[in-house]
Amino acid sequence: MKLNVFENKEDSGAAAAQLGADYIRKAVEAEGHANIIVATGASQFEMLSALIEMPDIPWHKISIFHLDEYVGMSIEHPASFRRYLWERFHSKLPVPPADFHYLNAEENPQAECDRVGALIQVLKIHVCFAGIGENGHLAFNDPPADFETEAPYKVVALDEACRMQQMGEGWFPTFEDVPTHAISMSVRQIMKSEKMIITVPDERKSVAVQGAVEGPVSPQCPASILQNHECCHFYMDAAGASKLKV
């Protein structure tokens, strides 16, 4: 794990985007194409905005997957991750990507897991941009997370802390409005990514950051599995890193 701490989330997000862009360019140069994963949520605002502005990224040679989506949610809902990615990222790219594999969990989430899982499992993922949750989750793999499932995507139940975070970030007006299930990329699939760019700003994530970076590798803090990744970069603002001992 390589830890990078900046004074504010804007600088942290810009630095994360810069390194990710470098990795993407090198992958395309070496192989003619790159496959990446992007995440959603408030933690990714600054990083995605900066990534869009990075020069000389050949987006037309890049295929994009994302981590998760709520079960039963219309793309028109303000909290839809498909909508988030279209409005904040996909539609703002200077040229269209080679592919953007959206997750549609509206009607048959298991069939969607199978469909997108069949696409991603035969590919090398060059860069995964992600965050971690207040409960230490990685994608929607809440504690205690399943570290063993080989399926690339699975339908998961969301725990109370996860659902409270979604409401607290303003995506839903009440706790009861937050869905109880989602499609999530599995932990093992995430860990297959060659490069991990983890962006985690804000003091409310500081306990999760401490557990992920300094705690034992345990399903009780799913993001702690990132300690086992060969190339994982954490980008934090001072608040997000405030509980680290290093």
| Cα–Cα distance measured from residue 176 to residue 225, given in angstroms and rounded to the nearest whole number | 31
pLDDT at 190: 98
| Domains of the chain by residue range | 2-237
The pTM (predicted TM-score) of the whole model is 0.95
Q: Is residue 235 over pLDDT 80?
A: yes
- Give residue 244's pLDDT: 96
What is the predicted pLDDT for the residue at 12?
98
The alpha carbon torsion through 115, 231, 156, 204 (nearest 10 deg) reads -140
Q: Does domain 2-237 have CATH number 3.40.50.300?
A: no
Which tens digits make up the pLDDT trace of 152-195?
Answer: 999 999 999 999 999 999 999 999 999 999 999 999 999 999 99
Position 205 confidence tier, pLDDT thresholds 50, 70, 90: very high
Report CA-CA distances (Å) from 98 to 71, 140, 183.
Answer: 26, 26, 23
How high does pLDDT run on average in the chain? 97
